[in-house]
């Protein structure tokens, strides 16, 4: 940390005078992690100001994916493999990730393989989320419930 209780982080100076010891320790850890990279690691391209909102928006997507599983799982196929494929396809289509990789790549000014890799990073992120959500929901005991009447789920006591 710089002298006088000021920290220079991303060319901005924050006044830390009057901060609690816990806040000072946290800021010094942030400052230390920014300047020293063990094993010559690559520094993050963005600071915590960008990473924290990015992680929060990903948490929102995870919650939405789990809610989607709650709502649509009973209506999917009875075969586990097909049910998981249906769920993954539904998430990819709802998020709009199936077509951009294959359509937008041809309009890019870079070479086609690089353009496809550039577009596919978001496809693979959504694919991983959908697959992991389907696996968690499948193996957490939420098997397809037996239907006693159309639109009414059977309970263990029935």
User: How many domains does the structure of the chain reveal?
Assistant: 2
Residue 119 pLDDT > 50? yes
Residue 14 pLDDT > 80? no
What's the rounded mean pLDDT across residues 96-122?
82
pLDDT tens profile 24-51: 777 676 665 555 555 556 677 778 888 8
The pTM (predicted TM-score) of the whole model is 0.58
- Does residue 122 share a domain with residue 96? yes
- Does residue 117 share a domain with residue 135? yes
State the SS3 of 109-120.
CCCHHHHHHHHH
For 109, the domain range is 49-143
- Does residue 85 share a domain with residue 15? no
Rounded Cα–Cα distance for residues 106 and 26 (Å):
46
- Does residue 124 share a domain with residue 66? yes
Rounded Cα–Cα distance for residues 9 and 28 (Å):
11
């Amino acid at each position: 940390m710089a002298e006088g209780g000021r920290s220079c982080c991303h060319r901005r100076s924050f006044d830390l005078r009057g901060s609690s010891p816990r806040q000072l320790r946290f800021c010094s850890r942030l400052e230390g992690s920014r300047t020293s990279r063990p094993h010559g690691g690559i520094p993050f391209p963005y600071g915590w100001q960008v990473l924290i909102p990015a992680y929060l928006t990903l948490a929102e997507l995870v919650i939405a994916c789990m809610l989607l599983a709650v709502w649509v799982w009973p209506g999917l196929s009875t075969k586990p493999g097909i049910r998981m494929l249906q769920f993954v396809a539904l998430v990819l289509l709802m998020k709009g990730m199936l077509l951009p990789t294959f359509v937008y790549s041809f309009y890019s000014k870079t070479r086609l393989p690089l353009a496809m890799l550039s577009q596919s990073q978001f496809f693979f992120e959504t694919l991983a989320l959908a697959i992991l959500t389907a696996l968690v929901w499948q193996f957490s005991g939420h098997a397809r419930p037996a239907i006693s009447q159309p639109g009414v789920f059977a309970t263990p006591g029935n």
